[in-house]
Structure formats: structure tokens, C-alpha cells
């Protein structure tokens, strides 16, 4: 958990040439500049989950959209 006084984790995705950005910090806040981008988010294991950011996700954390538990 990131300390409140440190603020949100920010990424500069406007000038990024990559189509998919790898994010390890699931505590990252989604900003409007992220809309339409693809992120590979670590789900707690070795695998990465691919998510696309939409308008409804702005203001929430990236970790809220990644499933971390196995479905049996």
C-alpha cells in the first residue's frame, strides 16, 4: 500500500511509443490521458493481465480491474 503523503503513482503515457505498458503497481490511479491505452498488470503471480482503459474507469485504481483469485 502506497503512503497517502506520497500521492498517486504517475506514468507519462502520452509520449509512449509502446502499445502495451507493463504496470507492477496496482495502486496506480487511472487518469483521462490513459483512455484507449492497453496495460499489462501483474495479478500477484507471474502472469500479466491485459486491460484496456475506458472512460468509466477514470479516477479508479488499475488493480480493481484485475482478477487475482483462481476460478475453479
What domains appear along the chain, each with residue ranges and CATH number?
A: 4-9+18-65 (3.30.860.10)
Output the pTM of the full model: 0.68
Mean pLDDT (the chain) is: 77
Q: Is 6 helix (H, G, I), strand (E, B) or coil?
A: helix
C-alpha cell at 2: 502506497
Question: How does strand 38-42 pair with strand 20-23?
Answer: parallel
Please state, as a whole number, how many other Cβ atoms lie within 10 Å of the Cβ of residue 61: 16
For 20-63, the pLDDT digits (tens) are 777 777 888 888 888 888 888 887 777 788 889 899 999 898 88
d(CA 8, CA 68): 22
Contact status, residue 29 vs residue 58, Cβ threshold 8 Å: no
C-alpha cell at 7: 500521492
Amino acid at each position: 500500500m502506497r503512503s497517502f503523503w506520497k500521492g498517486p503513482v504517475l506514468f507519462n503515457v502520452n509520449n509512449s511509443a509502446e502499445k502495451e505498458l507493463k504496470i507492477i503497481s496496482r495502486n496506480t490511479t487511472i487518469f483521462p490521458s490513459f483512455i484507449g491505452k492497453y496495460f499489462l498488470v501483474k495479478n500477484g503471480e507471474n502472469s500479466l493481465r491485459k486491460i484496456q482503459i475506458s472512460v468509466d474507469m477514470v479516477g479508479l485504481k488499475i488493480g480493481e480491474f484485475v482478477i487475482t483469485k483462481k476460478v475453479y
